Chains A and B, each alone.
Chain A
Amino acid sequence: MRGYFVGAGLAIAVATMATQAMAQAEIKIGEINSYSLLPAFTEPYRKGWQLAVEEINAAGGINGKKLVVISKDDGGKPADAQTAANELVSSENVAMLTGTFLSNIGLAVSDFANQKKVFFLAAEPLTDAITWSKGNRYTFRLRPSNYMQAAMLVEEAAKLPAKRWATIAPNYEYGQSAVAVFKKLMSEKRPDIQWVDEQWPPQGKIDAGPVVQATAAANPEAILNVTFGADLVKLVREGNTRGLFKGRTVVSFLTGEPEYLDPLKDETPEGWIVTGYPWYSIKTPEHDAFLKAYQAKYNDYPRLGSIVGYQTIKAAAAILAKAGSSDPEKLIAAAEGISMPSPFGEITFRKIDHQSTLGAFTGKTALKDGKGIMVDTAYRKGSDYLPSDAEIEKMRPKD
């Protein structure tokens, strides 16, 4: 009987030591996103980062340690995202936080990171505030911001002869700031432009018929669209039926992303100038490698979310590897100015505002075999579409 106890005790001791050893050989990253609210984006995103984790660990992990990503759902609520962030930091002891989709959630987590002195790599939120007016030293951001995407689109839009412009954008911060930046940059390049109408349907609740009709009544020559998802589908369907897009050029944020373009199927409007992700026509070795690995693992094509998820974890791993520690100060030092490969080519996290130089593709929408695609695509490097350092220093609070 006594031997039994000793044996059991030994077993427990060995098991404890084993877990401790395992814990020491692990690096944990905490990841938060709106999985239940926005599955259309976050499912491919999750596949993307899972692929990245697999590749990193297959290549020996981070400085010999296994990478573990602990993922939480925020349900689309900033308060819940903070609860999740707190759990990841306080009970899971993660080395850094990553993820988030919605701008307000990104800002909430970035403020949490600033307060608790945790490194945060924002994946998706597009708001300019997160790196500029409300930026802080603990927060970095991967995706090209609202400003950058607007600047890319303006470059094309300014070449159009159209002088009368109307805007349609969802009535929340993303839509408001996209329109504001686009208008500002556009009017700088083309002082002759008139803004004749603006429509602000509530996000997710567009009553497309009246909106299309009201826009048409202003008789614009060109339209800026910022809606996406189900709103975009409704807008396009009503617009097609009512002939809103006939003879008018449309410039549209994000519409070329497979997440938003693919559902339109044979109703895809042709000739819109968009930002997006034409995975079928990118011919670079970096992207080929990513595409092959992704298709082999999931038997599905990547969406833009896949790229964002994949590169977020790759970037996090690169920063952790360079820092050689999970101390936030060392992580910040490592992240500022770090360069790394990505499926879109080399990117750098800028020291001045912690924005990565990941770019985006622009092109025109077209129909092929009853499906929407992007044609005449061009990759635009993020670094070419940012304001001057002096302007940024004016906007960004000092640390």
Chain B
Amino acid sequence: MAFYVVQFLTGLASAASLFLVASGLSIIFGVTRIVNFAHGAFYMLGAYVAFTLTERLEGAFGFWGGIVIAALVVAAIGVLVEMVLLRRIYHSPELFQLLATFGLTLMVEDLVVLIWGPDDLVGRRAPGFKGAIDFFGQNIPSYDLFLIVLGPVVLGVLWLLFQRTRWGVLVRAATQDRDMVAALGVNQKWLFTSVFALGVFLAALGGALQIPRDAVNHAMDLRVIVEVFVVVVIGGLGSIIGAFVAAVLVSELNAFGILIFPKISIILVFLVMAVVLIVRPWGLFGKPEAPARRTPGLTVNPWRPLTTNERLAAIAVLVVAAALPFIAGNYVLTVGSEIAIFVIFAVSLHFLMSVGGLASFGHAAYFGLGAYGVALLAKMAGLPMIACLLLGPLLGLMGAGVFGFFAVQLSGVYFAMLTLAFAQIVWSIAFQWVSVTGGDNGILGVWPEKWAASPSHFYWLSLGIAAFAVVILRIIVFSPFGFALRATRDSPLRSEAIGINGKRIQWTAFVIAGTVAGLAGALFAYLKGSVFPDNMGISLSVDALVMVLLGGVETVSGAVVGAIVYKALNIWLVSQTDWSKLVLGAFVVLIVVAFPKGIVGTLEALMHRRRKSSSAASPLLTSRIETAE
């Protein structure tokens, strides 16, 4: 019995650490709607700065003072980031801020290694909380007890702050309805800055408090960020109490789950999230999101098919690309194939995001399913390459069919997180089912047949399929189905009123996107000759998201440019420098500032402004429609 009590308390201590970080994220998201990917980076910075301070400052006061100062220092960095970077892009398309914070995260990962060195750093134990307390023969670390108390204390302080201060009232109002708060004359700028600072402070505090338990290292951020997102979503976005309950739920399920299934930790949080979101689409304590006031499709120029001249130009570009094998060597051609494959992958996600208005955080699942489909067909059934390429993506189709059905019942960030949960479940199956998938050692020896083996042939194959995929998806965009999909995206109510079955349309779009991603994955398996669980991992999903955002989410085919720029740059930087993450991150941040609508989106807007500079009527019209709903 004593054991179960202690295991429960241990779970509570884990929950407290998780809650500190999650509460900050929840507050930031609730008010600013920023999906702060850099939250983990701030957590890690908190730990690093606290390590330095607690090593320098003497005694108990030095330790606790160091922890608090570290959190304050990092919060100040957070303020700087908010003022210099994020303020510029609040009016960018939804999720664009994710790109900026993603760039920051990349930079911080390299910076901490540059500043603090590559070794794992082990800080000192907390003065006064070094030992353990005996509980009927079981030991409970006293630091765990400290954390168990600290969690509810922080929760209480936050509750008072939000319920009993004017600032808190404004924050809650902004969480509910940002535009209304702005309309009532509240200075949003400072509200956002202060909220961001508080959130970052909590993240850094959470990181700093890990010093007596953890080793400070450069991978801490990724370890925590996904888990924290999951906790926030399970609890319900913007709900602090929800975050607390979710943290306790996840931690306790893990603490007791490993007694029965020791391998459960790897997937537990995602299983819980999937179940919670299917049963309660807005998390445990969340409220349904108010219908969006701004209609996304109208902030840009209306879409139109390419004119004849533009078509000719596109064909000319394709011809030039197809001529590459006559001038370039094998390496360039293989990189070219890889880029073409990522163009397919990115446009499939772009289709879902921009036309369907559904941002998936787990699109790599269908890419990976396509790749595994090919690998299993080729290795187990021994099918020829053509058959594999045609049948492999069907695994992506099936996966998208099943998961898409549940996912499209949700919208916004909840949709994104459910797709992430599904992707992680698929990933863990590939990771754990060693007898079929080979586990993380993957499936080897999936090489193309002779006719496609040479780099130039494979390049032509990839390029051809990429062009085909882009054209098909564009045709779908301008088909009646595409219009119905856009109608559902822009106004669920109105589209329903004219008889469009929104969920079915979105589900179909999800399946289309998943199948095309599967096609990209199938080609990728042949390009690399092997398949690994990595091919459906979170980082690949994030890569795809970055490509789409970089190209411009409000364009028809911006992802093509986004994929080419990001992938080419990534490969080149990794090859040329050891600090590729730092340079790539800085580049992403620069792009975000220079092209606030994505590369293609900003260029289109510029051209549009030049063309339409004479007529002053259109902006007025647009703004009227925007507020009409």
A165 to nearest B CB, angstroms? 15
Q: In the bound complex, do residue A171 and residue B122 qualify as a contact, i.e. CB atoms below 8 Å apart?
A: no
Chain A residues near B109: list those with CB within 8 A: 36
In contact, A263 and B121 (Cβ under 8 angstroms): yes
What residues of chain A lie closer than 8 Å to B266, measured between beta carbons?
Answer: 171, 200, 202, 205
Is B89's CB within 8 Å of the partner chain A?
Answer: no
Contacts A82-B529, A210-B258, A230-B217 given: A265-B442 contact, CB under 8 Å?
A: no
Instruction: Give B10's nearest chain A residue, CB to CB.
Output: A209
B384 on interface, CB distance cutoff 8 Å: no
Indicate whether A364 reaches chain B with its CB closer than 8 angstroms.
no
Residue in A closest to B14 when the chains form the complex, CB atoms: A207
* CB of B60 closer than 8 Å to a CB of A: no
List the B side residues contacting A200 at CB < 8 Å: 262-263, 265-266
A175: min CB distance to chain B, Å: 10
Set A36, A127, A264: member contacting B580, Cβ < 8 A: A36
**Contact between B219 and A230 (Cβ–Cβ < 8 Å)?**
yes
A283 to B: closest C-beta gap in Å: 27
For A107, list chain B residues within 8 Å (CB): 441-442, 444, 530
Residues of chain B within 8 A of A259, CB atoms compared: 119
Q: Is the CB of B119 within 8 A of A111?
A: no
Q: List chain B residues, Cβ under 8 A from A197.
A: 262
> Interface with B: A234-242, A271-279, A383-391, which one?
A234-242
Contact B215 A229 (CB under 8 A): yes
CB-contact partner of B215 in A39, A171, A214, A230, under 8 A: A230
B581 beta carbon closer than 8 Å to chain A: yes
A13, CB-defined interface residue at 8 Å:
no
- Sort chain A's interface into a size bin: 35 or more
Q: Mark B523-560, 1 if CB is under 8 A from A, else 0.
A: 01000111010110001000000000000000000000
User: Could you tell me the dominant secondary structure of chain B's interface residues?
Assistant: helix
Docked-complex contact B3 and A213, CB < 8 angstroms: yes
Given contacts A171-B263, A263-B121, contact A204 B132 (CB under 8 A): no
B132 in contact with A210 (CB, 8 Å): no
List, in ascending order, chain B residues with CB within 8 A of A111's CB: 444-445, 529-530
Q: Give which listed residue, A84, A104, A208, contacts B442 with CB less than 8 A.
A: A104
Query: For residue B578, which residues in chain A have a CB less than 8 angstroms away from its CB?
Result: 35-36, 73
B259 CB contact (under 8 Å) in A43, A114, A209, A214: A214
On whether the beta carbons of A172 and B139 are closer than 8 Å, the reply is no
Interface residues in B105-135 by Cβ distance below 8 A to A read 109-110, 113, 118-122, 130-132
Please state if B331 and A90 are interface contacts (CB–CB under 8 Å). Answer: yes
Interface contact B263-A210, CB-CB below 8 Å: no
Q: Contact check, A211 vs B439: say whether CB atoms are below 8 A apart.
A: no
CA distance A35 to B330 in the complex (A): 25
**Cβ proximity bits A61-104 to B, threshold 8 Å, 1 near / 0 not:** 00000000000111101111011101100110000000000011
Instruction: State in angstroms the CA–CA spacing of A75 and B582 once bound together.
Output: 13
Tell me if A217 counts as interface (CB < 8 A to partner B): yes
Whether the Cβ atoms of B528 and A237 lie closer than 8 Å is no
Once the chains bind, are B120 and A207 in contact (CB under 8 Å)? no
A337: CB under 8 A from chain B?
Answer: no
Please determine whether A91 and B331 come into contact, CB atoms closer than 8 angstroms: yes
Q: Complex: how many Å from CA A263 to CA B117?
A: 13
Q: Measured between alpha carbons, how far is A114 from B529 in the docked complex, in Å?
A: 11
27 A-B pairs whose Cβ atoms sit less than 8 Å apart in the complex: A36-B578, A36-B581, A83-B334, A84-B574, A84-B575, A90-B331, A108-B444, A171-B263, A171-B265, A171-B266, A172-B439, A173-B439, A173-B440, A197-B262, A204-B219, A205-B223, A205-B227, A207-B254, A209-B10, A209-B255, A210-B11, A214-B258, A217-B7, A233-B214, A234-B214, A237-B214, A238-B213
20 additional A-B residue pairs with CB within 8 Å, beyond A210-B7, A213-B138, A217-B3: A36-B578, A36-B580, A36-B581, A40-B120, A72-B574, A78-B528, A78-B530, A80-B574, A108-B444, A108-B530, A115-B445, A173-B441, A199-B262, A202-B265, A207-B255, A210-B11, A213-B6, A229-B120, A241-B141, A262-B119
The 8 A-B pairs with the shortest beta carbon distances in the complex, nearest first, are A39-B118, A233-B215, A90-B331, A210-B255, A209-B10, A90-B330, A91-B331, A230-B215
